[in-house]
Structures are given as C-alpha cells and as structure tokens.
Amino acid sequence: MDALNAVSGITNAQVLGPDFTFYTSPALYWEAGTFSASGSATNLLPGENTWVIPGLVDSHVHLAWTDFDESERNQRAQADRDQLIQLALAKTLAAGFTSARDAGGLETAWVEKLASGHILGPAVSPCVALITREDAQRCGTVGSAVEDALDRGAQWIKLIGTDGVTSPEGQDLEPHFTAAQFQEATRLAHQAGARVMVHAWGGQAITWALEAGVESIEHGIFLTRDQAELAAHTSATFVPTLVIYRLVLAMIEKGKLPRSFLQRVQHAVHAHPAAVRTARDAGVHIALGTDFGTMDQHGSNARELLALIDAGLTPTEALRAATSAGARLVNLNQTGTIETGAPADAVVLRYNPLNPTTFAQADAIVAVIKSGRMVSNQLQPHISN
C-alpha cells in the first residue's frame, strides 16, 4: 500500500459535526472505509488550519455527456467518449464530489466499474434513461418504458414531466404525462425498489408528480407555494440546478444556441431563485444538483453551491444541500455526515466553507477522501516510527 492510501486520519482539523457546527478534533480516524472513534497514531495528516466536511454530493449530473448537443456526442468515436467519461468522473471526484446521481446517460457498466474501484470517480446512483412522452408512446405505455429502464439497471426512474429550454413559447409548463401515468410510473418503480425523479419547470406536472409520491423534483423553476407545501408534506426533495440555466443563457448570448430561446431562458434565470426561497421557507429538503454535461463543466460542480447562496440560502443551508440532503436522497444508506460508522467520504479545505467565497477559490481543496482512500492530497502525512 502506498503512503497516500496508508493515511488513516487527520489531526487538529476543524471538523463539521452532524449539527453543522465545527469542532476541533484532536484526531479524526477512518478504517475499512468508514469513520472510526480511534485508530493508529501513525501516518496521520497534519490538519492545523484546515476544515473537514463530508464528501459533496451532486444530485443531478450527466457524467456521460461529453458535449451539450446530443448529435455532437453521437459523432464521437466510442473510444473517445469512454476516455472523456473517465475524465469527467475523475474531475468530479477531484472537485470533492464523492457521490452523484447520474440523471441520464451513464450505463450501469460504468457504475459497476466505479463500485469495484477499477476506475476513479464518485459513487453513482444511475437513472440510465430519460423517459419522455414519446418514449412512453413508443413502448405502448409509460409502465412499459419504466420496466425497460429497470431492466437496464436503473436505480432511478426519470420522467420528463414538462418541456424545458427548447419549448415552444407558452407550452413550457404543459404536463407531458397525466396524473394516472405519474401514479403508474411511481408504483412500478417503488415495487422494484427504485425511486422517481421528475424534470419539471412548473405547472400541473409538479403537483401530479408529488401526489404520486415521487422522491424529487428537478429544476422546478416556477414552483408555487402550494406545491412547496405539498413537497414538504410528502418529504420530496427539490433539486433546482441553478447554474446550468445561466450557462445556457450565456450560450444563447454568444450565438451558440438559437436566439429564439433567449426570452424564455431569461425569464427562467430571473424566476429560479424565488423558487429556491419558496421551497426553503416551506421546509422542503433542498439538494445540490448541477445538471452539468460537458467537459468544461465537469469538475466545476461547486459553482452550484455558490448559486444556492446567491439565491438566498445561508452558507449552512447550502452546505447541507451539498452534503447530508444530497446523501440522503441519492444513497439511502448514507447520512452525509462525519460520525463513527459513516462512510469515510470527506473533503479537506484550506478555508472555512461557511465563508461564501471559499468554493470560488481554485486552491480551496487540499485533500479528498473517498471510502477512506486518499484520492488527492496536498498535505504531507506525519509518519511515526
């Protein structure tokens, strides 16, 4: 075992506790992939002037999307795509994101390689496919489309409940599925032990999805107060994905996307922060998700944390969205906290993460720990004889 992976703890760091306050830990240990109450006094990282937080979670990302446009992705040779996917996974982990929910595109073979340790990247819970209204029609019923995704190994069923950026004017909130179809898809997913996430900008689709018992609403740009209260009642999670729409707006302004999208996306960017505050005020669980899907986006996932703060969350609320809220949504067996017995996923920071500017600093991360393994480290361990 090399010296990097022999590291078994960190001393004198500020550690984020389950109550989301920091405490000075004389020594934080990990063993066999989990945090432990005690450990070896050898090969410990010096943690003075560092802050340790749980591994970050991206609850909505497209790790197999190498390009924004599907046709461009499909033009790449498979070997090229595979190389870029592996790079995207490594970049995401290096950015401190030790877990992720892939929102479509990453096949289960990649998930298995990650779980076995054959490649470097976050632990991933996949949805495999995006189920559109057209998919349901092609399969005969929405239930058949759900069963097809489950057969391919989906742990999440993703329903495209409304249009999005490319919607014709005035149709972006029209539901793509009926209330009965949301109910059928959710019932089949839950019977198979899977969960349901719904892409919806707003409108009746959000209400019907929540009434069906889905686990999360994605984007929710025009989320209403009544819908937020319903989400709180059903314990659904809101994953707003703020940054991606700003990036799309910039692409439109640079001429990389049709100018006809401009007004709709401007409206979305302006309205989105209010939806985040509406959800927070109603007591809805909010999780960080980026919706990133290009090589220049992968690895910059922490921008979403800054966007949540910009939308009105406190730094503590944003950090909770990026850690414990995401962990509980994506991985049912994880709490996303640093405590004895929890998976040893952590990020060591040079600056206090409750300072809103920390995640804007390129040198903020000094070490990433995944399942007790040091996957990156700028600290030199102290090795006792």
- Give the pLDDT band of residue 43 (cuts 50, 70, 90): confident
pTM of the model: 0.94
Q: Which of 37-41, 123-127, 315-319 has the lowest mean pLDDT?
A: 37-41
**Quick one: 27 and 60 in the same domain?**
no
Q: Does residue 30 lie in a domain region? A: yes
* Domain range enclosing 255: 56-330
Length of the chain in terms of residues written: 385
| Cα–Cα nearest to 223, from 206, 246, 208, 245 | 206
354 within 8 A of 17, measured Cβ to Cβ: no
Pair type for strands 195-200 and 156-160:
parallel
Tokens of 66: 């190498």
Residue 384, in any domain of the structure? no
CATH number at residue 135: 3.20.20.140
**In terms of pLDDT, which residue wins out, 274 or 117?**
274
Q: 378 pLDDT band (50/70/90 cuts)?
A: low
Residue 305 lies in a domain: yes
> 310 and 353 share a domain?
no
- Choose one of 310, 330, 350: the last residue of a domain: 330
Indicate the pLDDT class of residue 32, thresholds 50, 70 and 90: confident
Cα 108 to the center of its chain, rounded Å: 17
Among the candidates 313, 330, 347, a domain finishes at 330
What are the two backbone dihedrals, phi and then psi, of residue 99, each rounded to the nearest 5 degrees? Answer: -140, 155
3-state secondary structure (DSSP) of residue 213: coil
CATH number of residue 24's parent domain: 2.30.40.10
Q: Do residue 89 and residue 61 come from a single domain?
A: yes
Are 189 and 311 members of one domain?
yes
Are 353 and 322 in a shared domain? Answer: no
Residue 385 banded pLDDT, cuts 50, 70, 90: very low
Residue 266 has pLDDT above 80, yes or no: yes
How many domains is the chain partitioned into structurally? 2
Q: Please check whether residues 113 and 149 belong to one and the same domain.
A: yes
Cα–Cα distance between 8 and 26 in angstroms, integer?
Answer: 14
Whether residue 23 is contained in a domain is answered as yes
3-state SS, residue 336 = coil
Q: Does 382 fall in a domain?
A: no
163 φ/ψ angles, rounded to the nearest 5 degrees? -70, 180
For 232-256, how does the pLDDT look when each residue is reduced to its tens digit (9 = 90+)?
A: 999 999 999 999 999 999 999 999 8
Average pLDDT, the chain: 92
102 plus 212 within the same structural domain: yes
Q: Is residue 129 part of a domain?
A: yes
On whether both 212 and 162 belong to a single domain, the answer is: yes
Rounded mean pLDDT of 342-350? 95
- Shared domain for 343 and 369, answered yes or no, is yes
Q: Are residues 252 and 350 in the same domain?
A: no
Contact 367, 348 (CB under 8 A): yes
Same domain, 20 and 122: no
> Could you tell me if residue 78 is inside a domain?
yes
Handedness of CA 343, 96, 84, 165 (dihedral sign): positive
Q: In terms of domains, do 186 and 41 share one?
A: no
Q: Does 383 map to a domain?
A: no
**Interval 168-206: pLDDT, tens:** 655 668 999 999 999 999 999 999 999 999 999 999 999
d(CA 159, CA 108): 18
